[in-house]
Amino acid sequence: MNPYQTIPSALLNHAGLNCHAVFDIAALPPDLRARLVVSCPQAASYRQLILIGHGGSAFWQALQASGRELTRNESAHPVDDFTVATVQQFLQSEFTGVPYEIVYPGSYTVSLQELGKLAGWHHPSPFMVGINATFGSWFAYRAVVLANTDLPATMPVQTESPCASCVAKPCISSCPAHALDDDKFDLHKCLSYRRQTDSACKNTCVARTSCPVASEHRYSDAQIHYHYGRSMQVIEALKAG
């Protein structure tokens, strides 16, 4: 059972967008609401915020089936394009005439992790990727929508962090960059190692793939290589700049 699948939309779920949380904007914690309105002033004109994500491998399978070309051209964003097209279709078909705005993906700064924590999706992990009890680290935030919908606000999913009961902590011991030593994440070590010619983490994260939590939902190698390949492009571009 997927406790994060709270919107009964066959369209979203068929696309692998199987994690949903609905917040009444007026009921958000005051500090979070204030930051939201600062970064997205139009939020004050909407009633609800809808957080949409994916867990497991179904999203990637749906993306591939859509026929979108998964190029590595920096100007191409097939994952975001597929997400936006799907969310637009969902809103236009199931909430005809209801005003909405997709603010992520987009140019607005939205605290995805903070929203994820509020929804009960996100626990921190040593390797700096959110983790939850159902999907482990194999989930991602895909869209944030402001809308004048009247969906039932969802209750936070109440779970303990899987990391709290993990004694062996293979993510720490397996990290070839030793970036997780001393109970803290060393970004410099991580990036320096990833840029090495013979790096085992150039198109993956060994610490993440060593995590045993919800391994049945692990992304395919192709999906892992795609996302980490894109991040590597950004790292190299920043270094060159």
CA distance 139 to 129: 9
pTM: 0.93
Structure tokens that stand for 178 in this block? 């030793």
- Could you read off the pLDDT tens digit of each residue along the chain, which spans 241 residues? 789 999 999 999 999 999 999 999 999 999 999 999 999 999 999 999 999 999 999 999 999 998 876 765 544 788 999 999 999 999 999 999 999 999 999 878 788 999 999 999 999 999 999 999 999 999 999 999 999 999 999 999 999 999 999 999 999 999 999 999 988 899 999 999 999 999 999 999 999 999 999 999 999 999 999 999 988 888 887 776 5
Percent of the chain beyond pLDDT 70?
Answer: 96
> Would you call 105 helix, strand, or coil by DSSP?
coil
Q: Cα(138)–Cα(129) distance, rounded to whole angstroms?
A: 9
Cα–Cα distances in angstroms (integers) from residue 55 to residues 29, 113, 137, in the given order: 26, 15, 9
- Residue 19 sits at φ, ψ, to 5 deg, of -125, 125
- What are the pLDDT digits (tens) for 136-159? 999 999 999 999 999 999 999 999
pLDDT of residue 74: 46
Residues in the chain: 241
Whose CA is closest to 102, among 40, 60, 155?
A: 40
- Please list the residues that pair with 140 across neighbouring strands: 54
